[in-house]
Amino acid sequence: MQKRRLGKSDLEVSALGLGCMGMSHGYGPPGDKPKMIEVIRAAVGRGVTFFDTAEVYGPFTNEELVGEALAPFRGQVVIATKFGFEIVDGKQAGLDSRPKHIREVAEASLKRLKVDAIDLFYQHRVDPDVPIEEVAGTVKDLIREGKVKHFGLSEASVQTIRRAHAVQPVTVLQSEYSLWWREPEAQVLPALEELGIGLVPFSPLGRGFLTGKIDEHKAFDSTDFRNALPRFTPEARKANKAVVDQLAAIAVHKNATLAQIALAWLLAQKPWIVPIPGTTKLQRLEENLGSAALELTSDDLRAIDSASKITVHGARYPEHLNRMVGR
């Protein structure tokens, strides 16, 4: 597995990471724990060194899973986790990035992850009630104390990134970026390049849609959060199949899967981009990691670019969640 450096930092990780959220949260019932540990450890065996979790995934259970699975590899892998949500009675209950809360989350995450320091600590969503300078300053203190190694932001605006970076250098921005969500290209990517900040795209496969295995007839589990996303209504899925159909021809030409085309395209955009596709299946893990070896020519990239310019139907989030991104 190739390595990539995230921005101008000294944080070097595998070209593809593993997003672990779906093993415990968001996409239906939690996976079988022994099987999820097997997938995580299989990723390590195949050269993956970058793993993504958060306290709110579960809540808490995903960090515990990742901590247990990666305990034998301490010092060999990079684990990213996140703070910024208030959790009440085991449920997400709004934002909370007050300095005291950040410290409490850090201490709890260290224990669940079974590590002495958090490799990468993201603010999960920007809290409008807490100045970003206070957030960055708190993480700066945690870095000084040896409890955190790197500071990250998630779904933040360019203005917020700049303000935070002036207090404590931001190593990574994690935001959605894929062939069906290219909005970061307008302002975010140029700012990251200027500042020397890496990008970790989450949902690089469009929450599964870019694999070509989801159509308007697909039924999601009642606990799957895609049920609440406008982009995943049956009508939107039917309309958005045009994107997948266009990419399918390119995949056939390259003797690759749709998922591999989508991931290889992301890797080709910038050398400081590290996608974190998630999966609960060994077969899909192998498929996703195969994208790192897929070479796309300039003609391939032009064809993919043209294919993905089709209008995507449906907002990526309902309004109450849309308000939490791009602050």
Give the CA count within 13 Å in the CB-facing half-sphere of 169: 15
Q: What is the C-alpha to C-alpha distance for residues 118 and 65, in angstroms, rounded to an integer?
A: 15
Q: With the CA atoms of 151, 157, 162 and 163 taken in that order, what torsion angle do they form, in degrees rounded to the nearest 10?
A: -80
Q: What is the C-alpha to C-alpha distance for residues 239 and 1, in angstroms, rounded to an integer?
A: 36
Looking up tokens 């209504």, which residue turns up?
233
**Cα radius of gyration (the chain):** 19
Give the CA count within 13 Å in the CB-facing half-sphere of 195: 24
Q: Nearest CA to 118 among 150, 162, 76?
A: 150
Q: What is the C-alpha to C-alpha distance for residues 185 and 265, in angstroms, rounded to an integer?
A: 14
The DSSP symbol for 183 reads: G
Both tokens of 248, joined, read: 């399918």
Beta carbons of 190 and 160 less than 8 angstroms apart: no
Q: Nearest CA to 28 among 198, 219, 192?
A: 219
Phi, psi (rounded to 5 degrees) for 191: -65, -40
Give the CA count within 13 Å in the CB-facing half-sphere of 199: 29
**Options 27, 57, 122, 177, the catalytic residue:** 57
**Catalytic (active site) residue 57:** yes
Both tokens of 258, joined, read: 């749709």
Both tokens of 308, joined, read: 């993905």
105, 160, 176, 252, 276 from 48: Cα distances, Å: 26, 30, 20, 27, 10
Three-state DSSP state, 177: coil
Q: What is the C-alpha to C-alpha distance for residues 236 and 216, in angstroms, rounded to an integer?
A: 8
Partners of 199 in the β-ladder:
173, 273
- The residues annotated as belonging to the active site are 57
